[in-house]
Structure 1
Amino acid sequence: MFVMIESAALSDIGKVRKANEDFFSENQEMGLWIVADGVGGNGHGDVASQVVVQTVERRVRQGRSVQEAIMDAHDTLHKVAEADPDYSGMATTVVVCRLQDNIYEISWVGDSRAYLWNGSVLYRLTKDHNYAQQMVEDNELQPEEAFRHPMRHLLMHAVGSGEPELLRIDTISGSLEANDTLLLCTDGLCGEVSDGEMKAVLQDADKSIKEKCSILLNKALDAGGGDNITLTLLKFLVNRS
């Protein structure tokens, strides 16, 4: 059995922001994909997202688990802020996919998301670390209402924000079948494009991964492009001959 991953990624400033504070990495050799969304309200979100993505990639290459690597990145942001007060308060979301053969492990902090498309169903693998999601879990809000609720922008956890013992890093794992597709994205995509619209794009068998990335990005722009937009798609291919 020969395993191959086809992947593509795009990032765009959107139509409202003055800078792109998202950052991403595709590393097929390591089986590692990372998407981060700098928290603009805290300042230097672009620095935070870049530092976290690069730190996580470096630490995983050195043999750390993804969770350890995210915690190291959290500590790194604190150290940068301690050395230069101008960077105080910078933070970022992050979602990381580690793929070994057909086994995926996804870890995240914040509201950047991961989805699994299996050819018929689009599964949201992550739960947002924001107040809107907490309201859903407390039965104060219906899931469909969270899509546009103003509390969706208020994060409960972000890398670089708060003390290490309070940082919540969630992880989910599973296995992929041939032609399964994973989507990692910032809320610039999932905050503008509904799950149903994403499914409609992903189920088009005539489009390549790269084309689907472009279509999803343009849908977010057409919906207003109110935030930076970053996404990566990876398709699991198996040749059994």
Structure 2
Amino acid sequence: MVSARTASGGEIHTGHMALGLRSAIGSDVGRRRTANEDSGAAGDRLLVVADGMGGHAHGELASALTVAAMLEMDERLPADTSELDLLAELTAAVDDASAKLAAHAQQEPDTQGMGTTVVALLFDGERLALAHVGDSRIYLCRGGTLTQITHDHTMVQQLVDEGQITPEEALVHPRRSVLMRALSTDHPVEADLAFLDLQPGDRYLLCSDGVTAVLPDQAILDLMAAPTGPEVVVEKLITFANEGGGPDNITAVVADVVDAADVVSQPVRLVGAAAEVQIP
């Protein structure tokens, strides 16, 4: 399979140092799936990954609808978001995505039960806001250290939190893919929300579990900490996940926090189902 890989960047001027995001995005169906149910988008200020689920119940539609809701939020925001509550905007976008899934299931009953994860970063040059539902993840690489920013909404993570199993046991648990929280056709869901501390030189990864189910943290750190551009990191994450068996769809966004002068603004780039599915 050929992977789609595109780069985009955003430039925001602030009252002091102007920071920008220089990002790359890619998605691949993997080695064992026939369709890509992941969706991704990378723009000047919004980065999103959604991992659809449901198989015959149209996971690819769920992820594409969710990314579309996020992009609609981004498009209606003003150029200057300094007066806006970014977390409230992300919350509204997640609620809108849930409403889109429910409305579609009403019109097309065979899509009842479809669902998706979502991770998103919304950036305005000074603030970086996060929204998260499910087991897609966001990592930060800073100073040679990799930190998982999100906390999986899975059954096995809950068992780890409660001390019933170890993190090592969680990696091979037969029910490791069972989600405790996801966007679905059934009811609205509450996203985890946070503002992230922002520093020049930071590198963020947003990815579906097609990456993390195959690559250990050390392998991800080795790629993220390497002195290569985001495009190379995305390409290698996809390649290595496929070489590790490619059991699932693979989607990754890598974004560097840089001086805005080093960034060229580009249109939003879509990958996976978001680039292929016709939204009704």
* 8 Å contact kept, 2:19–2:200: no
The aligned counterpart of 2:193 is 171
Change (3 A) 1:141 1:162: farther
The aligned counterpart of 2:168 is 144
Q: What is the deviation of 1:203?
A: 1.3
**Which segments of structure 1 move beyond 3 Å, counting only runs of 4 or more?**
none
- 1:6 alignment partner, one of 13, 17, 22: 22
Q: What is the deviation of 1:120?
A: 1.8
- 1:183 alignment partner, one of 186, 189, 205: 205
The aligned counterpart of 1:95 is 119
User: What is the CA–CA distance in structure 2 between the aligned matches of 1:4 and 1:78, rounded to whole Å?
Assistant: 36
The aligned counterpart of 1:215 is 236
- 1:160 alignment partner, one of 176, 184, 202: 184
Q: What is the deviation of 1:238?
A: 2.3
Q: What is the deviation of 1:11?
A: 0.1
Residue 227, structure 1, aligned to residue 241, structure 2: no
User: What is the CA–CA distance in structure 1 between the aligned matches of 2:170 and 2:47, rounded to whole Å?
Assistant: 27
User: What is the CA–CA distance in structure 1 between the aligned matches of 2:126 and 2:167, rounded to whole Å?
Assistant: 30
Alignment of 1:77-156 (within 5 A): 77-156=101-180
Which range is displaced more, 224-233 or 143-152?
143-152
* 8 Å contact kept, 2:139–2:205: yes
Which range is displaced more, 92-101 or 61-70?
61-70
Q: What is the deviation of 1:96?
A: 0.7
* 8 Å contact kept, 1:56–1:69: yes
* 8 Å contact kept, 2:230–2:255: yes
Percent identity over paired residues: 34
Higher relative contact order (CA 8 A, sep 6+): 2
Counterpart secondary structure, 1:153: coil
Counterpart secondary structure, 1:147: helix
- 1:238 alignment partner, one of 250, 255, 259: 259
Q: What is the deviation of 1:239?
A: 6.5
- 2:50 alignment partner, one of 27, 36, 39: 36
Residue 66, structure 1, aligned to residue 87, structure 2: no
Structure 2 segments unaligned to the other structure (5+ residues): 1-16, 78-87, 262-280
User: What is the CA–CA distance in structure 1 between the aligned matches of 2:128 and 2:56, rounded to whole Å?
Assistant: 32
Give the AA of the match of 2:158.
Answer: Q
Counterpart secondary structure, 1:236: strand
Q: TM-score, normalised by structure 2?
A: 0.80
After superposition, the C-alpha distances for 1:133-171 in whole angstroms (9 at most, x for unaligned) are 01011111112322232222101111115322xx23111
* 8 Å contact kept, 1:60–1:66: no
- 1:52 alignment partner, one of 66, 87, 97: 66
Q: TM-score, normalised by structure 1?
A: 0.93
* 8 Å contact kept, 1:148–1:191: no
